[in-house]
């Protein structure tokens, strides 16, 4: 690898100052003349037919500008799923529904001069509902002759079945078969900034401009035009500073509602959800059920793996089944073996909607699978580490599925070595700490692979345009979406490195579909991997033109020249020849040969790479209360070369905290009697506070993968996969019970300890 | 606006405040606002007359009288409690409670008077005040009323503050024993920004010979209001604590409790936590007072 000057430096984030001082503009900070406020009327029932709506009292309220129902808006069935074309989810959604399918479904909306008037108007709309039975549980939904939540769907959103080798024979011939069931809870993104947008309208042309807090501007433009029945040229998406996405803003969620309100009122309309709405009627990581069966030989070699999974996706498909496919993509990542079967389905239910959430199915799969692995090891009387070492994928091994992943780098051996050392695994095993009164100690680990992007299954195009200025600084135009991960900073670093200028010379214009080239946006862990290459490609073209000009000025062949930190240098010797700003100035102002220098490039990857990661946890469990204290949490990750070690560490630490919350306290609870969300506040939907965050030791394992622009692989989602599973296994180690669900609330842990004790006594 | 406030009156003296309260029987005192504003966001109550207590010096300060009584002005924030050397020396469990409540921002705003008058069984200050047999000093234009805190709660979110009354101060009568120890344990999912699933306080006066002369054990969220665990207290009075007795303390603490089943926790689990916390709090208070098990 070449020496890098900007890549690999912990440069300050380009948005750090604005965010810290409050100058950054979020949608809610925007000022407009005559900005109206929208509000949604939501179904109070989990399943009902809207028989009639009387809006007359609401319309009569002073300050109300529009009241819209099903009859006033387009009825184009759509999927909000924020994937690139073509549509890969059922077109099962409408702007307003006549048959409402979960508590919170959209019935009508109001635009008014103030939020308070809008709220009052909502309460004045009279709706007559005919209540219908509703379905929440997998077994009821899949029962023979069950009511169909969507007509002719059989309640199935998608199904996948593949088998390699002979699984039944493998299970029959295995020395031991271990079986486990696991169910993950519904969790939600709980972004600090609730869902919000402003839709402005050009009353001459009808063109709509959406100011959004969203992760996928390019896809939003296509999808909103489709939903509203408009040509795409009539939609512009302007992405503002985003206060958290995590996958929940990877699709239009409610933006089409203030769009129809803006069309009706000829005024800009803001729609900002309350905290309660954000927690109970936006998007979730829905509940998954897993049944795992694994056949092993007596000496601990896995011969057969069988997984059955159900994703209970809620009232509409949204991302639905593609999340199960993502689990499938990693199913053979870690423990390849001859006989494998994956049987997964995604189903409808009458509850809030499952969609994308950071690491797309993997956090729940990881706990299910890695606790299963520990269970097998214990059944065999092996240490979970030794069992893993016996079965782990090694570079060059064959996988039945997933051979499309390139295999240039695999940092798993170093992940294990570093992680085990940092947690003190072997010392703990050799000298297990004695119980301290009611306190028991445990240690555990969890490993995973993860892909960088969705190649070769879905469009993976990213674009970038670099405009060279007359001083060799440059403006980078991208729809690579900064939602807090630090992509503006990292893309500027890649442009600076490639152009050969200091970091400060690059400015970024980002997230505007009228200004910036198409990009599939912030999902998977794709942006540094894919957009990074687009930025490099566009920048190389600018650099080439600049060097040609320099060659003319210096009367030397351009091939002999290179750039470095603002200077044109002699490639062979590194000798500085001329300042780049002088060349750039000459390019623009030359009397006869002047011109502009700007290039746009699109990039599509030709290979997909895997990151390798592992978490290692030490816990203390209070057996009288079930309370778990995570004493130490180590996460090591191979995500290739780091473009910015500081923002990378932010991702790894932040992902560890999010995963800790998933494993230990977060869950959306639904009242089985009504289908309502019980805990729609941040008091009862518990995300960890800083007081709760354990001692986190995050480490990167260095590899340099030739597939990335500068040796990088990918980083956005992987930190959110293994920590919860490692904690889960540490608790398993401490109490000897593999609790078949998460979060590990004190009550749940206490009950597991108590019932194990009872079992022993009985 | 978000909060339906008809008027906010901010008197400079207690006399003015009480006069206004006498004229406006519906007026509600507001101190830190961390409870009342949350309930007003849910639109109940609406069109409220608020009397802001922020400027009333009569409600401030923490004093220790010569007889050992600790007098806490109702307008002490939880940060004030946490920073008070008198609290740290005389009732350290209230410091623990103050730092367990909400987060730093809420501790800076919320007051002990508001915590009590809000009537929540989960109030972090309540178990400690119950255990110590606190006396509430309430004033109205008509005069002063002194009420033991154990008689002040009327049900979930309801207290016997009469119309026109303002809670002025809270008095903690002194323990006469040679040695004192106390302990508050808050059991909650999170370490901050959370309500107690169960809270338990124990305060203990221990004589030179190790016998317990004064004992208070109180529980939050074990019943619709905070409660004293009287049976466990009676069991311990006049005895030297031994490890064997702790089991009984836990079981007796349950005798006065009426925990309920809810989606937040089952009754059986709450009972287990009550037993465990009572044991642990009593033991910690006894040991802090120099008792040896």
Mean pLDDT of all residues in B45-71: 95
The domain boundary, picked from A242, A262, A281, lies at A281
Question: Would you call A750 and B269 a contact, using CB atoms and an 8 Å cutoff?
Answer: yes
User: Residue-wise over B101-138: b if at least 16 C-beta within 10 A, else e?
Assistant: bbeeebbebbbbbbbbbbbbbbbbbbbbbbbbbbbbbb
Backbone angles phi, psi at B270, to 5 degrees: -60, -40
Strand order, beta sheet including B212-220: B179-187, B198-206, B212-220, B227-228
Residue with token string 């204290």: A629
pLDDT band at A1 (very low <50, low <70, confident <90, very high): low
- What is the CATH number for A70? 3.90.1170.50
Question: Would you call A116 and B1 a contact, using CB atoms and an 8 Å cutoff?
Answer: yes
Please check whether residue A389 lies inside any domain of the structure: no
DSSP H helices, A298-357, are 321-331
- pLDDT, position B102: 96
Q: Give the mean pLDDT of chain A.
A: 97
| Pair type for strands B166-172 and B70-73 | antiparallel
pLDDT band at A761 (very low <50, low <70, confident <90, very high): confident
Cis status, amide bond into A86, omega within 30 of 0: yes
Distances (CA, A) of B21 to A170, B15, B114, B152: 81, 10, 17, 20
pLDDT of A457 above 70: yes
- What is the CATH number for A569? 3.30.365.10
The ipTM, to two decimals, is 0.96
- Stretch among A414-423, A590-599, A713-722, B37-46 having the lowest mean pLDDT: B37-46
Closest of A747, A599, A593 to residue A667, by C-alpha:
A747
- pLDDT, position B119: 97
Please check whether residue A684 lies inside any domain of the structure: no
> Length of chain B in residues, anyone?
293
Put simply, whether A192 touches B (Cβ < 8 Å) is no
Which of A628, A630, A691 to probe the B interface (max B CBs under 10 A)? A691
Residue of B nearest to A624 (CA): B276
Cβ contacts (< 8 Å) between A746 and chain B: which residues? 187, 189
Sort residue A507 into left (φ over 0), alpha (ψ -120 to 50) or beta: beta
Which of B99, B187, B193 to probe the A interface (max A CBs under 10 A)? B193
pLDDT of A86 above 90: yes
Cβ contacts (< 8 Å) between A683 and chain B: which residues? 193-195
Cα–Cα distance measured from residue B45 to residue B33, given in angstroms and rounded to the nearest whole number = 13
Contact assessment for residue B196 and residue B186, using Cβ atoms and an 8 Å cutoff: yes
Mean pLDDT of all residues in A187-196: 98
- pLDDT, position A2: 73
Put simply, whether A116 touches B (Cβ < 8 Å) is yes
Please check whether residue A417 lies inside any domain of the structure: no
Three-state SS string over A391-420 comes to HCCCCCCCCCCCCCECCCCCCHHHHHHHHH
pLDDT of A575 above 60: yes
Question: pLDDT tens-digit profile of A10-35?
Answer: 999 999 999 999 999 999 999 999 99
The domain boundary, picked from A603, A633, A658, lies at A603
Put simply, whether B266 touches A (Cβ < 8 Å) is yes
The domain boundary, picked from A573, A603, A633, lies at A603
Cα–Cα distance measured from residue A728 to residue B47, given in angstroms and rounded to the nearest whole number = 50
The secondary element (H helix, E strand) that includes residue B184 is strand B179-187
Instruction: State percent of chain A over pLDDT 90.
Output: 98
Distances (CA, A) of B19 to B24, B25, B146: 9, 10, 20
- pLDDT, position B42: 79
Joined together, the tokens standing for residue A171 give: 């299970």
Instruction: Enumerate the β-bridge partners of residue B179.
Output: B206
How many other C-beta atoms are found inside a 10 Å radius of the C-beta of residue A516? 23
Distances (CA, A) of B214 to A425, B126, B181, B275: 48, 19, 10, 21
Please check whether residue A424 lies inside any domain of the structure: no
Cβ contacts (< 8 Å) between B276 and chain A: which residues? 624-625
Question: Would you call A671 and B263 a contact, using CB atoms and an 8 Å cutoff?
Answer: yes
Cβ contacts (< 8 Å) between B5 and chain A: which residues? none
pLDDT of A651 above 80: yes
- pLDDT, position B77: 98
Where are the strands (E) in A60-192, listed by range? Answer: 64-69, 99-100, 106-112, 126-131, 156-164, 176-183, 187-188
- Sorted by sequence, the CB contacts under 8 Å of residue A29 that are 6+ apart come out as none
Mean pLDDT of all residues in A389-395: 96
Please check whether residue A513 lies inside any domain of the structure: yes
Mean pLDDT of all residues in A440-461: 96
Please check whether residue A181 lies inside any domain of the structure: no
- pLDDT, position A239: 98
Instruction: State percent of chain A over pLDDT 70.
Output: 100
- pLDDT, position B40: 87
Question: Would you call A751 and B269 a contact, using CB atoms and an 8 Å cutoff?
Answer: yes
Cβ contacts (< 8 Å) between B264 and chain A: which residues? 684
Please check whether residue A339 lies inside any domain of the structure: no
Contact assessment for residue B58 and residue B13, using Cβ atoms and an 8 Å cutoff: yes
Put simply, whether B193 touches A (Cβ < 8 Å) is yes
- pLDDT, position A151: 97
- pLDDT, position A425: 98
Please check whether residue A708 lies inside any domain of the structure: no
Mean pLDDT of all residues in A197-219: 98
| Pair type for strands A353-354 and A283-285 | parallel
- pLDDT, position B45: 74
Residue of A nearest to B2 (CA): A116
pLDDT of B236 above 60: yes
How many structural domains compose chain A?
2
Put simply, whether A758 touches B (Cβ < 8 Å) is no
Where are the strands (E) in A583-701, listed by range? Answer: 598-603, 610-622, 627-638, 696-700
Put simply, whether A678 touches B (Cβ < 8 Å) is yes
pTM score over 0.95: yes
Joined together, the tokens standing for residue A341 give: 């079967």
Residue A39 belongs to what domain range? 32-132+190-281
pLDDT band at B1 (very low <50, low <70, confident <90, very high): low
- pLDDT, position A160: 97
Looking from the CA of B186 toward its CB, the CA atoms found within 13 Å total 26
């Amino acid at each position: 690898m070449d020496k890098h000057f900007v890549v690999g430096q912990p440069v300050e984030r380009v948005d750090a100052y604005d965010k810290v001082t409050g100058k950054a503009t979020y949608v809610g900070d925007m000022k407009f003349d005559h900005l109206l406020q929208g509000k949604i009327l939501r179904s109070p029932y989990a399943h009902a037919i809207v028989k009639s709506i009387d809006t007359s009292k609401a319309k009569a309220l002073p300050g109300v500008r529009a009241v819209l129902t099903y009859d006033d808006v387009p009825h184009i069935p759509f999927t909000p799923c924020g994937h690139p074309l073509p549509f890969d989810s059922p077109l099962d959604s409408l702007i307003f529904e006549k048959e409402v399918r979960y508590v919170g479904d959209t019935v009508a909306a109001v635009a008014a001069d103030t939020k308070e008037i809008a709220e009052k108007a909502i309460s004045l709309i009279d709706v007559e509902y005919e209540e219908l039975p509703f379905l929440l549980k997998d077994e009821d939904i899949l029962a023979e002759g069950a009511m169909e939540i969507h007509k002719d769907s059989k309640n199935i959103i998608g199904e996948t079945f593949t088998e390699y080798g002979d699984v039944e024979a493998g299970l029959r011939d295995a020395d031991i078969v271990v079986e486990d069931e696991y169910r993950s809870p519904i969790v939600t993104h709980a972004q600090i900034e609730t869902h919000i947008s402003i839709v402005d309208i050009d009353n001459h042309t009808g063109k709509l401009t959406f100011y959004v807090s969203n992760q996928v501007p390019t896809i939003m433009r296509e999808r909103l035009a489709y939903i509203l029945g408009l040509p795409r040229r009539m939609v512009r998406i302007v992405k503002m500073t985003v206060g958290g996405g995590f996958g929940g803003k990877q699709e239009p969620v409610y933006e089409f509602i203030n769009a129809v309100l803006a069309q009706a009122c000829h005024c800009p309309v803001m729609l900002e959800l309350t905290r309660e709405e954000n927690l109970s009627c936006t998007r979730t990581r829905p509940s998954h059920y897993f049944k795992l069966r694994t056949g092993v030989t007596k000496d601990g070699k896995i011969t057969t793996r069988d997984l059955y999974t159900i994703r209970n996706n809620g009232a509409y498909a949204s991302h639905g089944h593609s999340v199960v496919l993502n689990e499938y993509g990693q199913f053979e990542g870690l423990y390849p073996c001859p006989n494998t079967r994956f049987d997964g389905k995604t189903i409808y239910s009458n509850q809030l909607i499952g969609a994308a959430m950071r690491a797309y199915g993997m956090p729940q799969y990881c706990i299910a699978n890695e606790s299963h692995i520990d269970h097998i090891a214990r059944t065999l009387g092996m240490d979970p580490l030794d069992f893993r070492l016996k079965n782990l994928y090694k570079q060059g091994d064959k996988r039945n599925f997933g051979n499309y992943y390139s295999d240039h780098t695999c940092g798993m051996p170093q992940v294990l070595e570093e992680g085990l050392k940092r947690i003190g695994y072997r010392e703990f095993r050799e000298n297990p700490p004695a119980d301290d009164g009611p306190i028991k100690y445990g240690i555990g680990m969890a490993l995973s692979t993860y892909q960088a992007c969705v190649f070769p299954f879905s469009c993976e195009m990213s674009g970038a345009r670099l405009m060279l200025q007359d001083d060799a600084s440059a403006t980078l135009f991208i729809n690579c979406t900064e939602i807090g991960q630090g992509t503006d900073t990292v893309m500027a670093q890649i442009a600076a490195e490639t152009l050969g200028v200091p970091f400060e010379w690059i400015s970024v214009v980002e997230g505007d579909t009228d200004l910036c080239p198409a990009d599939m946006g912030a999902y998977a862990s794709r942006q540094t991997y894919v957009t990074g290459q687009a930025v490099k490609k566009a920048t190389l073209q600018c650099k080439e033109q600049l060097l040609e000009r320099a060659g003319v000025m210096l009367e030397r062949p351009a091939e002999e020249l290179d750039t470095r930190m603002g200077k044109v240098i002699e490639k062979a010797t590194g000798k500085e020849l001329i300042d780049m700003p002088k060349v750039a100035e000459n390019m623009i102002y030359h009397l006869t040969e002047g011109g502009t220098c700007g290039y746009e490039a699109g990039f599509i990857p030709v290979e997909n790479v895997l990151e390798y990661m592992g978490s290692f946890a030490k816990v203390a469990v209070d057996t009288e209360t079930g309370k778990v204290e995570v004493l130490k949490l180590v996460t090591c990750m191979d995500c290739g070369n780091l473009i910015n070690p500081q923002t990378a560490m932010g991702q790894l630490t932040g992902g560890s905290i999010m995963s800790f919350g998933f494993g230990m306290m977060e869950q959306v609870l639904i009242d089985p009697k009504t289908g309502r969300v019980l805990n729609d506040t941040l008091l009862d939907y518990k995300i960890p506070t800083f007081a709760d965050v354990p001692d986190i030791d995050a480490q990167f394992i260095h590899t340099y993968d030739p597939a990335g622009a500068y040796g990088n692989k990918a980083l956005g989602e992987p930190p959110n996969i293994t920590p919860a599973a490692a904690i889960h296994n540490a608790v398993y180690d401490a109490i000897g019970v593999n609790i078949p669900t998460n979060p590990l609330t004190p009550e749940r842990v206490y009950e597991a300890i108590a019932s194990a004790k009872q079992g022993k006594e009985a | 606006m978000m909060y339906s406030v008809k008027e906010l009156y901010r008197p400079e003296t207690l006399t003015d405040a009480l006069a206004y309260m006498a004229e406006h029987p519906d007026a509600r005192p507001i101190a830190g606002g961390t409870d009342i504003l949350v309930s007003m966001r849910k639109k109940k109550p609406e069109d409220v007359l608020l009397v802001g207590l922020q400027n009333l010096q009569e409600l401030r300060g923490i004093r220790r009288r010569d007889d050992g009584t600790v007098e806490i002005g109702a307008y002490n924030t939880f940060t004030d409690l946490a920073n008070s050397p008198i609290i740290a020396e005389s009732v350290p469990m209230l410091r623990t409670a103050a730092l367990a409540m909400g987060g730093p921002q809420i501790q800076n705003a919320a007051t002990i008077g508001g915590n009590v008058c809000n009537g929540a069984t989960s109030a972090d200050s309540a178990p400690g005040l119950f255990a110590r047999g606190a006396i509430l000093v309430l004033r109205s234009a008509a005069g002063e009323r002194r009420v033991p805190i154990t008689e002040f709660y009327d049900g979930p979110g309801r207290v016997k503050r009469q119309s026109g009354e303002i809670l002025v101060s809270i008095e903690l009568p002194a323990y006469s024993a040679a040695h004192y120890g106390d302990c508050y344990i808050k059991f909650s999912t999170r370490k901050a920004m959370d309500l107690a699933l169960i809270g338990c306080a124990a305060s203990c006066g221990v004589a030179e010979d190790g016998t317990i002369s004064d004992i208070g054990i109180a529980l939050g969220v074990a019943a619709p209001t905070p409660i004293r665990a009287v049976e466990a207290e009676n069991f311990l009075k006049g005895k030297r604590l031994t490890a064997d007795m702790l089991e009984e303390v836990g079981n007796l603490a349950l005798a006065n409790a009426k925990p309920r089943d809810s989606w937040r926790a089952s009754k059986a689990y709450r009972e287990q936590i009550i037993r465990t916390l009572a044991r642990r709090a009593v033991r910690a208070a006894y040991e802090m007072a120099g008792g040896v098990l």
